[in-house]
Structure 1
């Protein structure tokens, strides 16, 4: 098919979507879910889906899935439509509810009769939306990015917030003035209910990991200005693999979880049995549970991991550039981070060895009290009760 014909068909497809979205009657029991651009069965949409499935079976629930990622859904027997297919077109435009944790494409017209539930995907450390001073992402500029962000957030009918801190930021950064549900994050219900030795052993076994080794999870975020193209980001791992193996392999294994926007495929040749790439694992919640230590940088993963009250180390080799030029932070990260900040592999190894699972309980408790106080294991229920107007259990 020629480029010209593809462009023409895409234009027709988008126009058809807009037309159908406005004229088709909505199925009041039809809910479409999507997580991370259709790449995962995970996060807040998964938690809401599973709560509805288990407690309110009257809904028809369908996932929007990237055609390259359908295997995970087939494995679980989860109903889905391939993203941007003809079936997807007619399913999404008839749905009464859309539930997602990322932005939909701007061309997706939303009918006033459809309820768009935006769960978002993290408590913010780095600046978001209208709060960003400069945008360094490919295919856009600062003004265009902010204008498009507001166009999209204007379609949201409901926004989920994990805490009061996030509520204030979301209102301003997303220019959002509709229904905010400050309930904790539904995805963290899993951590609250499954933080026990039996479940941890079950997950480690299913992942093929050695049961006797302690687990270090390395889960960094992406860099806006390091990319191959729009939506495909580079990530140059700054760790010295040989030093890590030499110093830690007797006691630990390391599992990697790169951001969903990162296009890299890790080459761990020579480090088998010590390093594992779990970037494609369906849901990071499993990896949190089995990890004894989290190593991250500016990713929002540490807000969720804090619910487990386990050690965290922040590998921030580029903090000055990230803080002062790339994104900027909402609070004094160097002062309030719930764990030590390091810039080199040697310093990281030193912190792991000296930590001995002792954590600064005062710092962690203060952090927990500010950001995790709503995560009590019932966020999914609270969101479902408010959004779908069902009777509380």
Structure 2
């Protein structure tokens, strides 16, 4: 293990030197490097900005940074990409005029002075972030080191996108961010406004072979910091009783399960074919929102985005006290402000699904929408592009 660590440090030092040398070469003024969730997805705000720049037929050279294990989708879509952490990646990253990502870059990379770094982030926070966290339970680090690395990275950001005024104040404090916050709404959520029509929804359902007449329930839980087998390896313990769900809901519902990108252990769904579909690696999350009649989540930021659609939500918070008090901590009381019922057992969850399917929704939903979704008008991407790219021309 010691030899491996020494070898890794040597490689990092050499690639850092190569990166620094490459940064001294002529800048590619029209080159934009995109990355989503450390190169594991073609998704989120970077995708929305990429597609906008492409559709507008701008003369930018648009390239994606992709983890070597996730290149298949990019090849199938014919999207230009470079394998993350390859020599070519360091070379092109160092010379790019723009970086657009929704998560952190490796903390040993220093942004060149000629690069404009657009940090889009990836959600409105319920869970405490960075410096606001009381304790860090992630493997391989502690709170002091985690916050120090986070703030060091945040100093590289030139722009930080915020989805709403609530998030703006949290981001400034938790990230110790002192540069430009673009309070524009999230580009990724433009799709929930502009694509929310029957034709689009039916097209998406057909991709997953979901019958037209069935209600779609999307279960999108977050990850648990303490459920891990080491750094970067998280598992999810499914607490939803799928057998009970199938017995009660199987005739007229379909359940889609979308795990967090940090989860590395796949679910075993054998025996539930046609009723439960693992959509962790299929469709963008915003496309899943569009086809979902009901959302089940816990503490994930997905519920802030789903609120735009004004559809029923259920909070399956079986470990609420542990997660809130011992694992992460919240910015507000979920019990008081959740735009939907909080349930702790599978039977309660099933009952809530049946009620929601009869269109009995929670009145809190509209109040929640007004507070957290005031900027979601389908024009967020345009606002970001005008502020960042057109201003830099």
TM tier, shorter chain?
over 0.9
Alpha-carbon contact 1:18-1:108 (below 8 Å) kept: no
The aligned counterpart of 2:249 is: 248
The aligned counterpart of 2:26 is: 25
Alpha-carbon contact 1:309-1:364 (below 8 Å) kept: yes
Q: Does residue 136 of structure 2 align to residue 167 of structure 1?
A: no
- The residue matched to 1:96 in structure 2 has which SS? strand
The aligned counterpart of 1:64 is: 65
The aligned counterpart of 1:358 is: 360
- The residue matched to 1:389 in structure 2 has which SS? helix
The aligned counterpart of 1:181 is: 182
Alpha-carbon contact 1:189-1:379 (below 8 Å) kept: yes
- The residue matched to 1:49 in structure 2 has which SS? helix
Q: 1:121 Cα deviation (Å)?
A: 0.0
Provide, for residues 51-102 of structure 1, a one-character-per-residue CA deviation record: whole Å limited to 9, x for no partner: 1111142100000001111111111111110111122111111100000000
Q: Distance in 1 between matches of 2:214 and 2:293?
A: 10
The aligned counterpart of 2:234 is: 233
Which moves more between the two structures, 214-223 or 273-282?
Answer: 273-282
- TM-score, L = length of structure 1: 0.96
- The residue matched to 1:232 in structure 2 has which SS? coil
Alpha-carbon contact 1:44-1:119 (below 8 Å) kept: yes
Provide, for residues 324-376 of structure 1, a one-character-per-residue CA deviation record: whole Å limited to 9, x for no partner: 11111111111100000000000001111123122124x11110011001000
Alpha-carbon contact 2:18-2:91 (below 8 Å) kept: no
- The residue matched to 2:229 in structure 1 has which SS? strand
Q: Does residue 88 of structure 2 align to residue 87 of structure 1?
A: yes
The aligned counterpart of 1:321 is: 322
The aligned counterpart of 2:191 is: 190
The aligned counterpart of 2:46 is: 45
Q: Distance in 2 between matches of 1:25 and 1:146?
A: 34
Q: Distance in 1 between matches of 2:47 and 2:250?
A: 34
Alpha-carbon contact 1:48-1:186 (below 8 Å) kept: yes
Unaligned runs of 5+ in 2: none
The aligned length equals 389
Q: 1:390 Cα deviation (Å)?
A: 5.5
Q: Distance in 2 between matches of 1:25 and 1:373?
A: 42
The aligned counterpart of 2:380 is: 379
Unaligned runs of 5+ in 1: none
Alpha-carbon contact 1:41-1:282 (below 8 Å) kept: no
The aligned counterpart of 1:13 is: 15
Q: Distance in 2 between matches of 1:133 and 1:10?
A: 31
Provide, for residues 127-158 of structure 1, a one-character-per-residue CA deviation record: whole Å limited to 9, x for no partner: 00100011000000011111111100111000
Q: Distance in 1 between matches of 2:11 and 2:44?
A: 33
Q: Distance in 2 between matches of 1:335 and 1:6?
A: 48
RMSD of aligned residue pairs (Cα, Å) = 1.5
Alpha-carbon contact 1:72-1:282 (below 8 Å) kept: no
The aligned counterpart of 2:128 is: 127
Q: Distance in 2 between matches of 1:6 and 1:77?
A: 33
